[in-house]
């Protein structure tokens, strides 16, 4: 015996199928087809560690090897993203990216309620310039003040070490670099 479906059930199932098929992953490339490979030049450290501190920059910070950590994180992020392949040969790249670290500083975000000199939370900021050029030298991306940041607590149940916060900052900065390059189109 053949049973008939109710029209209401049929409409519900079809509607659900349409809704679910419209959501999800897309394999579409965001970049023009002639841009497949990128060469990431090592970031240059232009952070003025000898500059005087100010209200904005209460603590001038120098992290040895920061430029190498940033370069490695950006390359890893391009590999994770997958829109561009990373090459270690500049001459075979469709795009060449170079960056300069301009500023790195730590700011007090929150102090203890009864003592304004005891910090509970800090914010780390990393500022860099970024340029991406194609094979012909045409400027594709020109970012003069790309900022990565993170905050961390030094007391309480959410306390984190500064080195862990710096790793989070580097990851955040690398994500922002790759997003800026990929989303340019």
Which residues is 127 bridged to in the sheet?
Answer: 103, 147
Range of the domain at 115: 31-182
Using alpha carbons, list the distances in angstroms from residue 147 to 21, 28, 124.
Answer: 37, 28, 10
Average pLDDT over the chain reads 83
Give the separation between CA 139 and CA 159, rounded to whole angstroms. Answer: 43
pLDDT tens-digit map of 79-114? 999 999 999 999 999 999 999 999 888 888 887 766
Q: Is residue 103 part of a domain?
A: yes
pLDDT at residue 118, as a whole number: 77
Which residues is 148 bridged to in the sheet?
Answer: 126
pLDDT at residue 130, as a whole number: 96
Q: Is residue 25 part of a domain?
A: no
pLDDT tens-digit map of 124-174? 999 999 999 999 999 999 999 999 999 999 888 889 998 999 999 999 999
Give the separation between CA 11 and CA 9, rounded to whole angstroms. Answer: 5
- pTM (2 decimals)? 0.77
**Which of 185, 175, 163, 168 minimizes the C-alpha distance to 61?**
163
Q: Is residue 125 part of a domain?
A: yes
Give the separation between CA 143 and CA 182, rounded to whole angstroms. Answer: 13
pLDDT at residue 180, as a whole number: 94
Q: Is residue 99 part of a domain?
A: yes
């Amino acid at each position: 015996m053949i049973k008939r479906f109710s029209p209401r059930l049929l409409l519900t199932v079809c509607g659900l199928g349409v809704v679910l098929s419209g959501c999800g992953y897309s394999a579409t490339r965001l970049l023009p087809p002639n841009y497949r490979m990128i060469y990431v030049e090592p970031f240059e450290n232009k952070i003025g560690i000898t500059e005087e501190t100010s209200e904005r920059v209460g603590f001038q910070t120098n992290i040895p090897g920061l430029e190498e950590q940033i370069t490695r994180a950006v390359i890893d992020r391009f590999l994770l993203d997958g829109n561009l392949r990373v090459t270690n040969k500049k001459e075979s790249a469709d795009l060449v990216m170079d960056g300069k670290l301009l500023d790195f500083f730590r700011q007090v975000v929150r102090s203890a309620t009864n003592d304004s000199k005891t910090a509970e939370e800090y914010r780390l900021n990393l500022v860099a310039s970024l340029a991406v050029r194609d094979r012909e030298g045409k400027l594709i991306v020109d970012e003069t003040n790309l900022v990565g940041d993170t905050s961390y607590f030094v007391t309480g149940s959410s306390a984190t070490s500064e080195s862990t916060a710096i790793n989070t900052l580097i990851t955040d900065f690398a994500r922002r670099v790759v997003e800026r390059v990929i989303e340019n189109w």
